[in-house]
Amino acid sequence: MSKRTLKVFISVLLVTVMIVSLLAGFQGTFTASASTKKTVEIKFFSNLPDRTSNQGKLEQMLIDSYMKANPNVKIKVEALQDEPYKQKFKVYVATNQMPDIFMVWGQPSFFLPVMKGGYAAEIKPEQIKNYGFKTSSLKDFMYNGKIYGLPRNTDFMVLYYNKGLFSKYNVKVPTTFSELLDAAKVFRKNGIAPIAINGKDKWILAILYQELVVKESGDQKLIYDAISKKSVSKNQILLKAAKDLVELVNVGGFQDAFVAADYGAANNLFAQEKAAMYYMGSWEVGMAANPNFSDSFKKNVDATYFPIISGGKGKKTDILAWHGGGYAVSANSKVKNEAMKLLLYMMHPTRWAKIGWQQGLVVPGQNWEKFMTGKETVLQKKLTQIFSSATSVSGTVWQDAFTPNFKTEAETLCQMLVAKAITPEKFLSKIEELAKLEVK
């Protein structure tokens, strides 16, 4: 190395050191100046990193309009996808650095420890008197009779189907389980996947199992009670539902290799009109207007109730419905009142519910029927009809109703059941063992 290169090397080193120290100084002044200003800064932690479409767009829209109406308020959004979100949420909890307003899943396996630990601020019933939340919809956001969060959406399960494919092969849209099996056989013969499902994600299988239990028993409480009382393996209805699920697999009711299909794979299979049905939640309401899908698909897509089972006690209007995501305000926030104001602003029925529904972005957590304009897509209309006709709803699905570990194990068992790695009898005895371990 020549003397010249040595000089260059040393100067690069010096420059780096200088930049580094400059940055350090800059940062110090930055934080100092922020604290002397009078503006209020609200930290907003969200699980919607895509701020340009769907719910992320709606969230950002409301945040922007709030800042416009309140120029002294600055809202800093931090958005991470579900898994990194949960990871960082733990870090925030452990270091007592909770953001001022944050997203929560209204499931005991996620939100209950947060409420118990006193991390979420209480929301008084009178604050949301005219907001159109039913007490039942707030159940999973309550602890000891106090409200700690507000749900943003209504989630419920329906059977999406492709009208075009059903008429092409002259199949009746199934209203009973045996019709569903017959339809599956016809589509199989013609090389069309009957039901698209994302078996790799596991949770959908657990939900489908609960759907069958409800349709067999007509009793929404049955599966929860059986697990709480640890009397699972002897229960004939639970066994019958597990057998139904296996039967659906045996007739080829799902696409090939459905156990390995993830969310996008199942969704696109249906959207590319290669599957006749799609078992999924109401959050897919936007399919009918998605610019990424073909016009033919958008014309043909429709939704219906999950079929009833002949001999079962469940009605088609006994549906699986719950409130998944929502928001809470940090109990230890320095700007608690401001954050609460923001939450109440966003969740006001004329904002999240009305704008979200009318733009076809969400199925809101509050009653949305009064915001119907008549310009809704077929899916929006059908979903509204299905939900408003419900005679009973499930609340948080069974695998989310207990501990995080229970969720993981139970979902894996469901996947093993449909992959026929275990028999229905074995499945139930495993669930019972799990309940004894995990459920107090």
Q: Are 275 and 193 in contact (CB under 8 A)?
A: yes
Shortest distance in whole angstroms from residue 24 CB to another protein: 7
For another protein, the closer CB: 16 or 136? 16
For another protein, the closer CB: 106 or 312? 106
Angle at 334 between CA 137 and CA 24, to 5 degrees: 125
Q: In sequence order, which residues have a C-beta less than 8 Å from that of residue 65 and are 6 or more positions away? A: none
Q: In sequence order, which residues have a C-beta less than 8 Å from that of residue 409 and are 6 or more positions away? A: 434, 438
In sequence order, the β-bridge partners of residue 157 are 281
Q: Are 21 and 53 in contact (CB under 8 A)?
A: no
For another protein, the closer CB: 49 or 125? 49
CA torsion angle for 317, 408, 403, 219 (degrees, to 10)?
20
Q: Is 49 in the site for another protein (CB under 8 A)?
A: yes
Q: Is the dihedral of CA 106, 254, 186, 218 positive or negative?
A: negative
- Residue choice 29, 31, 33, 373 for contact with another protein (CB under 8 A): 31
Q: Are 293 and 270 in contact (CB under 8 A)?
A: no
Q: Is 108 in the site for another protein (CB under 8 A)?
A: no
Count the Cβ atoms, other than its own, within 10 Å of residue 286.
19
For another protein, the closer CB: 255 or 394? 255
- Residue choice 55, 109, 300, 330 for contact with another protein (CB under 8 A): 55
Q: Are 220 and 392 in contact (CB under 8 A)?
A: yes
CA distances from 300 to 38, 179, 277, 375, 383 (A): 55, 20, 11, 17, 15
- Residue choice 11, 14, 25, 53 for contact with another protein (CB under 8 A): 53
Angle at 119 between CA 114 and CA 121, to 5 degrees: 115
Q: Are 65 and 300 in contact (CB under 8 A)?
A: no
Q: Is 1 in the site for another protein (CB under 8 A)?
A: yes
Shortest distance in whole angstroms from residue 270 CB to another protein: 10
For another protein, the closer CB: 12 or 372? 12
Q: Is 325 in the site for another protein (CB under 8 A)?
A: yes
In sequence order, the β-bridge partners of residue 325 are 105
Shortest distance in whole angstroms from residue 374 CB to another protein: 27
Shortest distance in whole angstroms from residue 439 CB to another protein: 28
| Interatomic CA distance for residues 81 and 75, integer angstroms | 19
| Interatomic CA distance for residues 133 and 139, integer angstroms | 10
Q: Is 113 in the site for another protein (CB under 8 A)?
A: no
- What would the x/- binding string for another protein be over residues 130 to 159, using CB under 8 A? ------------------------------
Interface with another protein in residues 252-311 (CB under 8 A): 263-265, 267-269, 271-272, 274, 283-284, 290, 292-294
Q: Is 16 in the site for another protein (CB under 8 A)?
A: yes
Shortest distance in whole angstroms from residue 359 CB to another protein: 15
Q: Is 380 in the site for another protein (CB under 8 A)?
A: no
- What would the x/- binding string for another protein be over residues 217 to 236, using CB under 8 A? --------------------
| Interatomic CA distance for residues 217 and 309, integer angstroms | 10
For another protein, the closer CB: 201 or 438? 201
For another protein, the closer CB: 224 or 293? 293
For another protein, the closer CB: 161 or 283? 283
Conformation bin of residue 252: beta by default, left when phi > 0, alpha when psi is -120 to 50: left
Q: Is 178 in the site for another protein (CB under 8 A)?
A: no
| Interatomic CA distance for residues 191 and 320, integer angstroms | 30
Shortest distance in whole angstroms from residue 310 CB to another protein: 33
Shortest distance in whole angstroms from residue 18 CB to another protein: 12
Interface with another protein in residues 67-106 (CB under 8 A): 76, 78, 80-82, 84, 87-88, 90-91, 94-95, 97
DSSP 76-119: EEEE--HHHHHHHHHHHHHTT---SEEEEE-SHHHHHHHHHTT-
> Which helix (H) or strand (E) segment is 150 a member of?
strand 150-151
Q: Is 188 in the site for another protein (CB under 8 A)?
A: no
Q: Is 25 in the site for another protein (CB under 8 A)?
A: no
DSSP 173: P
Q: Is 417 in the site for another protein (CB under 8 A)?
A: no
Shortest distance in whole angstroms from residue 89 CB to another protein: 11
Residues of this chain that bind another protein (CB under 8 A): 1, 6, 9, 12-13, 16, 19-20, 23-24, 27-28, 31, 43, 47-56, 76, 78, 80-82, 84, 87-88, 90-91, 94-95, 97, 263-265, 267-269, 271-272, 274, 283-284, 290, 292-294, 325
